[in-house]
Amino acid sequence: MKLTKARALVLIAFSVPIAIELRTVAGFFNVELPLIAVAVIEFLFLALLFVLYGLYGEGSNAAA
Amino acid sequence: MATARSEHAFVDKFPDEAGVIKATFLVAFVALGIGAFFGLIQALHRTNVVRVIDSADYYTMLTGHGVLLAIVFTIFFLCGVFHWATARSLDRPAESKLFSWAWVGLMLTGTILATVAILGGLVPSLGMSADVLFTFYAPLQAHPIFYIGLAMFIVGTWLAGADWFLSYRAWRKDNADERIPLQAFMVLTTMIMWYISTLGVAVSVVFFLIPWSLGLIESVNPLLTRTLFWYFGHPIVYFWLMPAYLMWYTVLPKLAGGRLFSDPLARVVFVLFLLLSTPVGIHHQYLDPGIAEGFKFIAMTNTMFLLLPSLLTAFTVVASVEHGARQRGGEGYLRWLGALPWRDPAFTGMALAGAMFAAGGFSGMINAGMNINYLIHNTLWVPGHFHLTVGTAVALTMMAGSYWLVPQVTGTKLYSRPIGLLQVIMWFVGMVFMSNAMHRAGLAGIPRRTAEPQYQNFEFLTPIGSIFELRVQIALGGTLLFLSVVLFLFNILLTSLGEESERPVDAYLPEPLSGPEGSPRILDNLAMWTGIAALLVVLAYTLPLAGIIQNGGGLFGGGLPVPATVSAGLDFVLMTVTSAFNTLLGVVA
């Protein structure tokens, strides 16, 4: 399955509430996650998505 | 070109109806633009990011934001959708073009009057204001033309409903044994609910608020006007939601590539909303003194029943969308999600709106519970909730649906699908930031309906993160939402100015997988459902209203319902008689 721009955008959109609530979920396990950690995790997710788009995106030859 | 198009395009088949719908959409979108601008100013003001207005003017902005978005945008848009759905599903034009334009004109006149009264608050020299917020009950008082405008607006919606019932009556004459087409059924049941529920606000406005604002009566019974407002103020939520449901049930499955899962289930859902949405308004008044706890408990249980049609909807719509995905080659337990048409802003916007509505439903259950409600009642949690429901489930569905509906009534193609897609994603992200922060701020106890939420010598605390972060989230969310509206209006404006197309959009709606023949005929007995809905209202409201009138100082609060002018005259007579009597006593003594 190709990672289209539209699918990538929707994935980014859904990553926002997950990132925002990450600290709450971590709090359930008594883990105090600082805001900067959440920002880094979100940044890493976006970087991964960018790489995947390069590999499996609309312009690539690879097909999942 | 028009001849080639006429098989497909609504605008060629029903040109007069398309004109009416275009007018309603135009008013809706102008209100959306102004209301969103007011929302941006409020978000930046309250969070102390940018303050361009006096805090006193915040309440004018808040009223404008609430009235223009929650009443004008939503209801004008739904009138357009219902006019489209009635003509399309009954396959006939309205009975009278003049009558259709009459209700548009009446609603528009009412809107202008109410808006002028609200904006008058920004110009103190006018001596006119309506800083009463969207919840326009006593003791806050607005200029009379605000209430008169609202009354005209409501009567306009009644006439709109009459327009659709007249179409139905004419259709029924020609189709005596047919089942009511699903979209028409949805329109008619929603309008019956609206007629029943607006009686409360009509009585409040016409008999109490207008005479009070004109000075004809001295006082009103505040609890009575609050109760009459919420009698209408909760069902209006379903008046907003039903056009969104109509689109989720009948348009979204088609956009997903499939068909509605079950027509009978959709009918049951709309009948349940007709029956259950009105006798629940007292759940907005858990903190009001003067209403017995028992009545509040009954309202709470009635409210919980309302979860049933919402959950049925979640099941039916998701099943329909999954069916569509599998028709497009989707497989697996979850991988079918990837097969959906995410490039289409109409689909993506409606799907994201539905997903956010689930979150709004959960926070609504918190609001509905009597004990938990006490914790969050007057906090920012509540605006967080309704920004998920009316602000996303309804507004985002309406914007996304416009990308599919507007080309049908203008005959032009959508200007830009990528801009549309970016717009709906931006709305989703903006609302995640804003509503999440509002819910969290509510849990921290930050109040709502105030320009200055801070208190001296007091600090709000959050279990995770800081209040500063929440403020930043609200400001960021509000900004993204406003930019999203700008993109939407830009896209729609250029769409309507575009060249006519042979096939502006694929307007065909496929038959449901399970059709109306599978549902009992009694579901189409609108008279019977109306009677039962009215009976439930009588059961839920008679005793509480009697108690409010009896214990709250009568209909007009201050004792006997004596008009102010009469009261002044009586005072004069009484003073004269007393004075004469005292003089007489003096003479005798």
**Contact predicate B446/B380, CB 8 Å:** yes
> Residue B413 corresponds to which tokens in the numbers above?
């193609």
Question: Given an 8 Å threshold on Cβ–Cβ distance, is A9 in contact with B342?
Answer: yes
User: In this predicted structure, what is the pLDDT of residue B572?
Assistant: 61
Q: What is the pLDDT of residues B196-219, one digit of tens each?
A: 999 999 999 999 999 999 999 989
- Containing structural domain, residue A51: 5-56
**Is the complex ipTM more than 0.90?**
yes
Give me the number of domains chain A comprises. 1
What is the C-alpha separation between B168 and B191, in angstroms, rounded?
12
Q: Which of B153-157, B167-171, B293-297, B422-426 has the lowest mean pLDDT?
A: B293-297
pTM above 0.90, yes or no: yes
* A61: in domain: no
Active site (catalytic) residues of B: 234, 238, 385-387, 448-449
Q: What is the pLDDT of residues A1-60, one digit of tens each?
A: 678 999 999 999 999 999 999 998 998 898 889 999 999 999 999 999 999 998 888 777
CA B487 to chain centroid, in Å, comes to 23
* A23: in domain: yes
User: In this predicted structure, what is the pLDDT of residue B2?
Assistant: 47
* A48: in domain: yes
* A35: in domain: yes
Q: What is the pLDDT of residues B7-53, one digit of tens each?
A: 668 999 999 999 999 999 999 999 999 999 999 999 999 999 999 99
**Contact predicate B564/B218, CB 8 Å:** yes
User: What is the pLDDT confidence band of residue B564, given thresholds at 50, 70 and 90?
Assistant: very low
Q: How many Å lie between the alpha carbon of A6 and the closest alpha carbon of chain B?
A: 5
* A62: in domain: no
What is the C-alpha separation between B516 and B450, in angstroms, rounded?
49
Whole-angstrom CA distances from B184 to B23, B88, B166, B272, B435 are: 21, 9, 12, 16, 34
In chain B, where the domains are located? 8-168
Nearest CA in chain B to A2: B338
In this complex, the residue of B348, B433, B465 whose CB is nearest that of residue A10 is B348
In this complex, the residue of A4, A24, A27 whose CB is nearest that of residue B343 is A4
Nearest CA in chain A to B344: A6
Through-space distance between the first and last CA atoms of chain A, rounded to whole angstroms: 5
CA B316 to chain centroid, in Å, comes to 23
Helix, strand, or coil (residue B175): coil
